[in-house]
Structure 1
């Protein structure tokens, strides 16, 4: 599993208000969170004897991986995505209040 890059790049929305830049990023994060929840759920419900494969980054090659390690990594990624989403939500709320 690959951790998505975080942050908003200035060149992504030159000339836009900060709120306009954050909203598409928040929607993208929301989609990634839903996807990651499915991954965690699928890994959690696998039988103990099932094999799990991890895709090599930037390749179509898959390698046998440890199920519990993959579950742990997936949960960590989900936690990071949720944290980033919450930071954006809080940032948007404080900008709206001003």
Structure 2
């Protein structure tokens, strides 16, 4: 039976959001969104069609599912890397 107490992971998340910058919070939200996109694309049946929105437009074009999945994973990796760099720089500031 799981305990009702606070888990160490929860404390880390709460501590990081209390003192984080708006940019870091925005980046965290983008990472969450991108994880959902990757998950959705990963779980699509092979015969499903995928459309990509034209930037700054309401026009959608048919796109290759595997290519979109690859691009989404790359974007997620870049966002995670950027977030990690921000966290590392904050840790070095606290150590000084």
Name the TM-score, length of structure 1 as normaliser.
0.77
- The equivalences for 1:1-98 within 5 A come to 23-98=21-96
Q: Number of paired residues? A: 78
**Residue ranges of structure 2 left out of the alignment (5+ in a row):** 1-18
Greater than 3 Å deviation, 4+ residue runs: none
**Residue ranges of structure 1 left out of the alignment (5+ in a row):** 1-19
Q: Please report the RMSD computed on the Cα atoms of aligned residues, expressed in angstroms.
A: 1.1
Name the TM-score, length of structure 2 as normaliser.
0.79
Larger radius of gyration: 2
Name the structure 2 match of 1:10: none
Q: Cα offset for 1:24?
A: 1.3
SS of residue in 1 equivalent to 2:26: helix
